[in-house]
Structure 1
Amino acid sequence: MLPLLALSPILLILVLMVVFRRPAATAAGVGLALGVVVALALFEVAVPLPDAGDGASALSTSVAAGLGGVALEAAFLAATILWIIFPALCLHELQTATGAVDRIRASLTGLSGDPRLLAILLGWFFALFIEGAAGFGTPAALTAPMLVAVGFAPVQAVTLALVGHSIGVSFGAVGTPVLPQIAVTPFSGPELAQAVAVLHGMSGWVMLLFLVRYARVTEGPLAAGMTGRTVLPWAALAAVLFVVPYLALAFAVGPELPTLGGALVGGLLFVLILRRSGDGRRAAAPVPAVPAAAGAVSGRGLLWAGLPYLAVLALILATRLVPPVQEALRAVVVDWTMTGGFSGRVEPLYHPGTMLLAGFLLGGLAQGVGVGTLAGAMRRAAARLPTVALALLAMLALARLMVHSGMITTLADAAAAGLGPVWPLLAPLVGILGAFVTGSATASNILFTDFQQATAQTLGLPVLPLLGSQNFGAAVGNIICPHNIIAACALVGIAGREGEVLRRTLLPCAVYALLGGALTWAFAALG
Structure 2
Amino acid sequence: MTSPAATATLAAAPIGLILALMLGLRWSAARAGLAGLALAAVLATTVFGFGSPNAIDGAPASTPREFAGVFAEGGFLAGTILWILLPALALHHHQQRCGALDALREGLARLTPERPLQALLVGWFLALFLEGAAGFGTPVALAAPILVGLGVPAVQAVVLALLGHAAGVSFGALGTPVAAQVALTGLDPVAIAWNTALLHALLGSLLMVFFMRTLAAAGMVRPPVGWAALAAAGFLLPCLAIAATIGPALATLGAALAGSALFIAVLVQRRTAPHMPPAAGIGRALWPYGVLVALVLATRLPALAQPLGEIVLQWQLFDRYGASMQPLMHPGTLLFAALLVGARLQRVPLRDLAGPLALAAKRLLPVTAALLAMLCLSRLMLHAGMIAALQEAAVRGVGRGWPLVAPAVGALGSFVTGSATASNVLFTTLQAQTAQALSLSPTALVAAQGLGAAIGNIVSPHNIIAGAATVGLAGREAEILRRTLWPCAIYLALGGLLVAWLAAG
- Is the contact between residue 123 and residue 161 of structure 1 (CA under 8 Å) also seen in structure 2? yes
Can you list the C-alpha shifts for 1:277-324, whole angstroms capped at 9, x where unaligned?
Answer: 238x79xxxxxxxxxxxxx9730111011111111111111112x211
**Unmatched runs of 5 consecutive residues or more in structure 1:** 50-57, 283-295
Deviates more, 1:392-401 or 1:104-113: 104-113
- Is the contact between residue 43 and residue 407 of structure 1 (CA under 8 Å) also seen in structure 2? yes
Q: State the match for 1:53 in structure 2.
A: none
Q: State the match for 2:259 in structure 1.
A: 266
Q: 1:297 to 1:158 in 2, by over 3 A?
A: farther
Task: Say whether residues 1:303 and 2:283 are aligned partners.
Answer: yes
Name the SS of the counterpart of 2:314 in structure 1: strand
Compute the displacement of 1:158 (Å). 0.2
CA distance in structure 2 between the partners assigned to 1:367 and 1:116 by the alignment: 29
Can you list the C-alpha shifts for 1:207-253, whole angstroms capped at 9, x where unaligned?
Answer: 1111111112565xxx5xx27xx521111111222122211111111
CA distance in structure 2 between the partners assigned to 1:64 and 1:126 by the alignment: 45
Q: State the match for 1:450 in structure 2.
A: 429
Which of 466, 483, 492 is the matching residue for 2:445? 466
TM-score by length of 2: 0.95
- Aligned-residue CA RMSD (Å): 2.0
CA distance in structure 2 between the partners assigned to 1:170 and 1:341 by the alignment: 29
CA distance in structure 2 between the partners assigned to 1:113 and 1:15 by the alignment: 42
Q: State the match for 2:394 in structure 1.
A: 415
Q: State the match for 2:94 in structure 1.
A: 94
Compute the displacement of 1:371 (Å). 2.7
CA distance in structure 2 between the partners assigned to 1:211 and 1:45 by the alignment: 43
Which of 325, 339, 342 is the matching residue for 2:318? 339
- Is the contact between residue 145 and residue 492 of structure 1 (CA under 8 Å) also seen in structure 2? yes
Name the SS of the counterpart of 2:104 in structure 1: helix
CA distance in structure 1 between the partners assigned to 2:319 and 2:12 by the alignment: 23
CA distance in structure 1 between the partners assigned to 2:43 and 2:234 by the alignment: 49
CA distance in structure 2 between the partners assigned to 1:245 and 1:191 by the alignment: 16
TM-score by length of 1: 0.91
Task: Say whether residues 1:231 and 2:224 are aligned partners.
Answer: yes
**1:370-381 counterparts in 2 under 5 A?**
370-381=349-360
Counterpart amino acid of residue 137 in structure 2: G
**1:100-249 counterparts in 2 under 5 A?**
100-216=100-216, 223=220, 226=221, 231-249=224-242
Name the SS of the counterpart of 1:337 in structure 2: strand
**Unmatched runs of 5 consecutive residues or more in structure 2:** 1-5
- Is the contact between residue 106 and residue 297 of structure 1 (CA under 8 Å) also seen in structure 2? no
Counterpart amino acid of residue 264 in structure 2: V
Compute the displacement of 1:65 (Å). 1.1
CA distance in structure 2 between the partners assigned to 1:163 and 1:265 by the alignment: 19
Deviates more, 1:234-243 or 1:81-90: 234-243
Runs of 4+ in 1 over 6 A off after TM superposition: none
Q: State the match for 2:15 in structure 1.
A: 10
Counterpart amino acid of residue 472 in structure 1: L
Aligned residues: 497
Counterpart amino acid of residue 462 in structure 2: H
Q: 1:114 to 1:433 in 2, by over 3 A?
A: same
Counterpart amino acid of residue 297 in structure 2: L
Compute the displacement of 1:520 (Å). 0.3
Which of 232, 246, 253 is the matching residue for 1:253? 246
Q: State the match for 1:31 in structure 2.
A: 36
Q: State the match for 1:319 in structure 2.
A: 299
CA distance in structure 2 between the partners assigned to 1:297 and 1:25 by the alignment: 47
Compute the displacement of 1:365 (Å). 1.1
Task: Say whether residues 1:481 and 2:474 are aligned partners.
Answer: no
Identity of aligned residues (%): 49
CA distance in structure 2 between the partners assigned to 1:380 and 1:218 by the alignment: 27
CA distance in structure 2 between the partners assigned to 1:47 and 1:344 by the alignment: 23
